[in-house]
Structure 1
């Protein structure tokens, strides 16, 4: 099982990754990411929260990548995922905001 941290191109994401520790952490972003990091598997492209099907795309991504916890760092992502928290919980996926306790 993996933990997904959004906003991969931010310092906050790296700080959170260091706090969580472990090898089972994925960094993801919908904004531009270096191809080298995407190809290496260190980062993944996630859906854009502006998409009308964002929550369903995120759910599918989490199921495909075996993600059981999401830390949403950007406000728009946070709001959408918290609103769909019950759906994610049904699949055993916890949605956390960056200010939640680790």
Structure 2
């Protein structure tokens, strides 16, 4: 199983990645990431929180990638996914808020 960390282009996300220090950590961001970051495979482009189907897009992504925990850093992501925490819990996906 994997761990997804959002806000991949931020320093706090990298700090957390280093603390978790595992091969199962995936970094993702809905903001633009340079192509060289996406190619290695451990960085992914996440759905945009402005999308009306953001919650379902994130749930699908987590299920497809075998994610067991999502660490959220951006307020827009937190606001939307914390409301859907029960739904994610039904699929054994933990929502973790980081600030």
Common fold by TM > 0.5: yes
How many residues get paired?
99
Taking only aligned residues, the RMSD between alpha carbons, in angstroms, comes to 0.8
User: How many angstroms apart in 2 are the aligned matches of 1:73 and 1:88?
Assistant: 17
- 1:1-102 paired onto structure 2 within 5 Å: 1-99=1-99
Whole-angstrom CA distance in 2 between matches of 1:40 and 1:18: 17
5+ residue gaps in structure 1? none
For structure 2, list consecutive stretches of 5 or more residues without a partner in the other structure. none
Whole-angstrom distance in 1 between the partners of 2:63 and 2:41: 17
Q: Which runs of 4+ in 1 moved over 4 A?
A: none
Q: Displacement, 1:36?
A: 1.6
